[in-house]
Structures are given as C-alpha cells and as structure tokens.
Chains A and B, each alone.
Chain A
Amino acid sequence: MSPTEVTDRLAELRADFDRSFAEPARRHDAEHAELLAVHAGGRPYALRLAQAAGVHSDRPVTPLPGPQPALLGVAGFSGAIVPVYDLAALLGHPVPERPRWLVLAAGSPPLALAFHELDGHVRVSAAVIVGEPDGHDGRDVLRGMVPLPGGTRPIVDLPAARAVVHRLTGHTQDAFEER
C-alpha cells in the first residue's frame, strides 16, 4: 500500500466514523414503546415507562385514615411525601393483599400507584399496540392493549389514572361532572 493509499483509506474511515454520529438515530423511540408488564389485583396490565418517574419495591407506606379507600397511605421519596394509591382499587377490583411495588407517576402533584407484581420490562414495536381502548370495566384508566407472550394486556395510562385520583380528591372542579 502506497502512502497515498493509506492516507485516502484513513480519510475514508474517518468520514465513515463521523457520519455514523451525524446521522439521526434510526428506528428508536418513535417506533418503540418501553413497557412494564405488571399484575394488579390479580390481573395483568402494562404500563408505559415513559409516563413513569420511577419504580420502587417494598417501600414503607404509612397508612393514612381518611375518606379514600384507594389511598393506601403516604411514602417518603427523598424528602418528599408522596400519596400512594392502590392501582387495583382505582381499576375497580381491589384485593386485600397490600401491593409491593410502587410506580411514581410523572407530573405533579406527586403521586405513586401501587401494584402487586412486576412481571418484567419489555420493548415492543409501537405498531403492535392496539390503540383503541376497550369498553369494559375501568375504561377511564385503560388506553389501548398490547399483545405480549402469555396474552394481550390492557395498558394503564398513568396520566388518566392521575386524572381519576385528581377527581376523587376534588383536586379539580369537575369532580362529579358527567363526561
């Protein structure tokens, strides 16, 4: 190899290397969804990770006597006090067992939802998610479905769940409006 050839080859390699950074990342977030497969109240669901601010297990929850049966209590997260709601109760099928897992919903005010089991973390193509919500119980909170190994799971929409909690606690004015 002549010195010129080496120089050319080097320039070529360098250009390739640089181009790989300049190009937009292909088929990444836009076409995929990160999901958590969970069980709440004995039923399988999926959560969109993008809507969560964190997932924690076995966090002590201090029970709070009050008017909301779905409110399990409050938990401390790095100095902040966060209300914890039972996801199964919000979905209308509470069970006596106390859930172990907490997902912090993104947004404010602080809010955590508790579920019983974490089945896993999956990344699916956005195309396989069925967009239309089903019509059965809990349709206020469920938005879409996703086929996963072991069966199709309804997707819990965390912003919608947050909206339900806001209405339950009178955080907005439309607490008892017909939709």
Chain B
Amino acid sequence: MSQDPLRYFRVEARELVDQISAGVLDLDQQPGTELVARLLRFAHTLKGAARVVRQQDIADRAHQFEEVLVPHRTDEGPLPADEMRELLRLNDEIEAYVARLEPAAAAAQVAAAEAAAATAVAASDPPELGPESKPEPKPEPPPAPKPAQNPAPKPVAKKEEPAARATTTDVDDLLDAVGEAHARFAPLRTGSTALDRLHRSAESLAYQLRVGRTPGQAEAARSAAVRLAGELGMLGRRLTDTVEQVERELDEVRGRAERLRLVAASSIFTALHRAVRDAADAQGKRIRFEGRGGDLRMDPQVLALANGALLHVVRNAVVHGIEDDEGRAAAGKPAEGHVVVEIQRRGRYAAFLCTDDGRGFDLAAVRRTAEARGLLMPGGTEPDQQTLVDLVLRGGISTSPTVTEVAGRGIGLDVARDVADQLGGDVGVRTEAGGGTTIELVLPLALLSLHGLVVEAAGTVATVPLDSVRTCVRLLPEQATAAAVTGKMAHDGEAVPFLPLARALYAGTTVPEGGGPGVAVIVEADGESVAVGVDRLAGTSTLVLRPLPALAPAAAVIGGVSMDLDGNPRLVLDAQGLVAETARLGHGGAAPLEAARRLPILVVDDSLTTRMLERSILESAGYEVDLAASGEEGLEKARARQYGLYLTDIDMPGIDGFTFVAETRADPELAGVPAILVSSRASAEDRARGAAAGASAYVVKGEFNQEELLAHIRRLVPS
C-alpha cells in the first residue's frame, strides 16, 4: 500500500475537485474576476499534480478548464451560457476521473450488480444507533459503461455519502488539545522528583528515630516529621489538581476526536446547488440557490439520507415550484427564482428546510383528485389546507400519476417521507398559493457534536448545549431564594421564569441537600428564555450527544447523554425541554405549596404490569400510591390505612373488583372513600354493575387514557 503512487494525489484531487465544483456554481451565481482567478488557481494546481502522477486525462481536462476561463480574467460580467455549461461538463468529467481513482470505486465497477444490491441493503437497514452498529458506507453507484465514441466517463452520480473527511482546522484543534493535555502532565513528572526527595527525607527520619536517644535528637526528628507531613500534603494537593486538569483536557481531546467522525452539513450544499442549477438550466429558468446553517456537524449516515431526499425536493422546487419567466412577471416576482436550503438543530433533531418562492401547491387539484378517489366527500365541509397537504403526504395519492402531475410534488415528498419513516423523523409542508412552499424534513440525530456548558446541581453533573445559552448570571443567596420562591428573576430589564435545575432533575423525588443555586444560566429556545438555577459552573467541553437508549424514557428536560472520560453517561439538557418544563410547572419553578398534602391512593390489580403502570402514572402526578395484588389484600390494606381513593381492577382471582367496591361501600369506615373501576370489560352491562356496586367512575383499559384517569382522580380526590 505504501507503494501506491496515487495515495496523496487522491486526497489532493478530491479537495481540489470539491473546491472547483463549489466555485463553478458560485461563478454561475455571482460572476467576478476574483472567483475566476481562484478557479484558475485550483485548475492549474490540479493540472500540475495530475501530470506528476501521469493522470493525463485529468490534466487535459484541467487544461481545457483553464482555457475556458483565461479570457474572463479581467471580465466582471457573467460567462456566456455555453461556456458555463462547458465548465460544468469538464468539472463533471474531472470529478468522474478522480472518483475512479478510489479503490472502492474500481471495485464497485467490477461488481456493479453486487454494489447495487449492497446499496439496497444499506438503504433498507434500520438506522441503528451508536457507532458500533453502523452499516458500512454505501458504495458509490458505479459509473455507467462509457459509450465508445465518448472518451470521458459518464459523470458519476453525485456522491450520496459525504465522507467523514477531517478538515485541517479540526485536526489542528485536536492536536492542540492533545498538546495541552500533554503539557498538563509536566507537574506529574516534576512530582516524581519531589516524591524521590520526600522518600529520602522519610528514610533519614526513620534513621533518626532508630538512633536518636537524646531529647535534642527526638526534637529534630519531630520537626523533620512535621516538615515531611507538610510537604506530602502539598504534593498531594498538587497531584489532585494536576489529575483534574489532565482529565479535563483528555475530555476535550475525546470530544474533538469524536467530532472528526461527524460531517459539516454544508458538505451537501454543493450537490444540491448543482441539482438546482442543472434542473433550472433544463427548464430555462434562472434560479439562485442559497444554503444556510452549514456549520452543524452530524452523523454522515443521517446527512447522506437527508441529502438523497433533498436532491429530489430541490429539483421539484425548481421544476414545479418556481414559475417560468412569464409566470413570475405576471405574479410581480423578480425574474430570478430563489431556493433556500436551511439546516437547523432542534434539540436532538436536525431540521432540513427547503423553501422556494414559487407558485405553491395546487391544492384545488389535490382536492379534486382526492374527491375523485373517494378520499374526500365532494361538497363536504371545506377541507383546511393542512388536511389537503396531509393527503399529499400520507393519503397515498401522492403516488398517483394524476396527482403527481397536478400537485407536482409526489416523488420528492415520497422520498422525504420514506427517509423520515426510516429514521423516525417527520416531514412537514407549508405552502401558500402563489407565495411558495417550504418542505421541512426533521430527522433525529444519532450522534451530534456540541459545545456544552457543564453545570452542577445537587450533586448531579449535566451539560447545557452552549448554542442555547445566552448568558450566565451569578446569584447572591438572597437572590436565589427570592427566585426560587417567586419562580421569576429579573434579567436584562425583564422578568424571566426561573427553574432550579435540581427540581427538574429530581422530579418526584426528594432533592438532596445542596448549596442551592449560585448561578443562573439564561437558556433560550424558540424565542423564549428561562433562567436555570445551578449550583456552579464547571467549564465547557466538546461532547458528542447520543440519544437515550430504547428502554429509558426520560423527562423532556433531558436531550440525551454523552460519555464522560470514564465511560459513564452524563446528562445533556435540552433547551426546548427546559422551557417547556418551566411552562408546565407554571409560575416558573416556584416551590409547590406544601399545603397540598393529599391522601394516598390504593391500587388493586392482580397484574403486575397494570399495577406498575398505574403507580407510575399516579406518582408522576404527585400522588402517593400503595399496591395490592388481590381483592383480599386490598381490603386488608384499605382497613389498615386511610386512603383518598381506591383504583381497582374487576377480574381478579378471589374477591373481584365489584365485590371489593361493594364491601368497602358496606363498611361505614371506608364508604366515604371513592372507588374507580379499571377494566378491559367495556360493556354497558358491566358499567351499570359497577355503578350499582357504588363505583364513582369506570375506566376501560382498551381506551385507557392517562389524562382521563387523572381527571377522574382530581375530581374525586380534592387536594
């Protein structure tokens, strides 16, 4: 492998091709001499490098590329359309040649059928989370066999999988972090010298103690011992500090290294831009492409899938969304259409938005087709826009050629929907007749690199994504108390809701004693701010956010977990969740009134699952719960303690639920405690029997609704 003469050329050529591809598209959009000069430089470098490694095909095309550009060196105006096309053609050819240098591409060519099969498998693989289970990157689709008369290979389909290629700055950052961690070891090295010295002192002290008999010698030994203890203490403290620092640095190294396997979202912009450009050219339209939010780094797998779907979506926006010249003129729009792809992080999701300023969906046509196919009642109530959009997205009519033609969005939306379904995401559409359309593809992120602010609250360490932190404010003890009591604090001339983090982290359980909030972290999400009270700040770190495992449901404040240096999970908070939790608690996070001391609830059910489920529902609503596994045990517990409510199953071995209710009604001590029957029996007869026995409410398990149950309970158990 070390003999491979193309090893370095491949890397350089790939980078130059990327830069040329992006540059040509930029030139198309914003002509200028500076860009021409830059492209000439890239092409020239590529030509020189290609000659060195005897890649004459590439060198020739780079040369032709230069030839086209040279006359425009001093020319500020746009290039003629045919020259632009020639540049793009040469660009594609160079790209195809460079792609063929990849060992993987050569293999793919040999086994085209196998590669296609593998692609299908990779595409249908469930998106397992975690790096270990990741399927191999899809092989690139092999270039089509080239026609004899055309010496150039057909352009390879734009690569579907943005490779996790490290940028120089990323590697530099990582090296800096490694260097910093290394430097932190220096005190440990001097520490071992100090240790040697102390060791000698201890030995000499031992000698003094062995030989020393006179009071003077004893005194000297004593003071030597005191000195030794002092020095040992100092060395110990220094070691502790050093270890802490080294750990922090290594944490940073780990975060940066993990970041290397993630890809900047902007890496898909060139391909999308090119798709827009080609579609616009074929349609004779003028369209400007814009990519926003490309800094976000994410899993290459997710990005590749999003890219595949977005290619269809942007093409549709050009072909069906943006009007032709006359159409735009008639609508009073600028002649140049506009397509924007924007990428945003939303908690543990990434949103890909494709917005065009075209004509919008033809919802009337969707409606006509839906009515023709019996999906909507003709002449029925006017369906709202969302209903119609849902019909296109989910109603199965998107695949119909009729609607595909009139609505014009079928295929792209199908692909987007498939990707979303595959990854557990979502597709949304906002459209306005004459005003354009936004297609929104939201995908969960398996891995996501973040900069985080590490905070501590009541002994728990958590990380807040730094991009949602507006500022941090130190709190004096009396300010902290006031904020906790009122649930608000003044910041920047406005009242911001205050949420002590400890309360959110220990929801439903007792908060361990701690120092109380010393800092308020002002977190912003969706235009709303909350002040999150934490005990102290513990620095910032680069981390990779992982989703929670399948069997670990968590409160909304938790956005995911990251791994600390010891491989232990650390909580990562979610800004949206913090805002929502504060709103849910109402009046900020003010302490609940202690007066709300309610009587406990007795759950009687022979099924463990039901007992546990009901208990978790009731406990999260703040009730204390006792459990009984049979009617007999229920009666025994009911007589032993005062309850606010009985929640009982009907079908149990021994005493059944009807009997349990009737027996408690017959007992004057217990008759005042309301009882709710929860059963899978749904017949009117059983309901009547329940009412006759004296039950206050009847909830059917099949239609079980947590809110309904809690509503009954709130009604029956006044706080």
A interface residues, Cβ below 8 angstroms from B: 60, 62-71, 73-76, 78-83, 85, 89-90, 92, 109-111, 135-141, 164-171, 175-179
Contact = CB atoms under 8 A, between A and B. Distances in A.
B555 A168 contact: no
B493 interface: no
10 contacts: A62-B561, A65-B505, A66-B507, A67-B553, A76-B569, A79-B563, A80-B549, A110-B549, A169-B550, A178-B607
Contacts of A92: 608, 611-612, 627, 629
Contacts of A176: 609-610, 613, 701-702, 704
Contacts of A69: 508, 615-616, 619
A63 B569 contact: no
Contact residue range for chain B?
35 or more
A140 B608 contact: yes
Query: Looking at chain A's contact residues, is the secondary structure mostly helix, strand, loop, or mixed?
Result: loop
B567 interface: yes
Contacts of B124: none
B132 interface: yes
B328 to A, nearest CB: 50
A72 B225 CA distance: 48
Nearest to B131: A79
B568 interface: yes
Contacts of B385: none
Interface in B569-619: 569-571, 607-613, 615-617, 619
Nearest to B614: A176
B549 A65 contact: no
A164 B616 contact: no
A83 B629 contact: no
A90 B609 CA distance: 9
A66 B701 CA distance: 23
A178 B505 contact: no
Contacts of B554: 64-66
Interface string B123-151: 00000001110000000000000000000
B551 A67 contact: no
A167 B609 CA distance: 7
A85 B612 CA distance: 13
A66 B581 CA distance: 12
Contacts of A76: 563, 566-569
A83 B627 CA distance: 25
A176 to B, nearest CB: 5
B504 interface: yes
A65 B558 contact: yes
B548 interface: yes
B460 interface: yes
A79 to B, nearest CB: 7
B506 interface: yes
B612 A90 contact: yes
Contacts of B571: 62, 64
Contacts of A80: 130, 132, 549
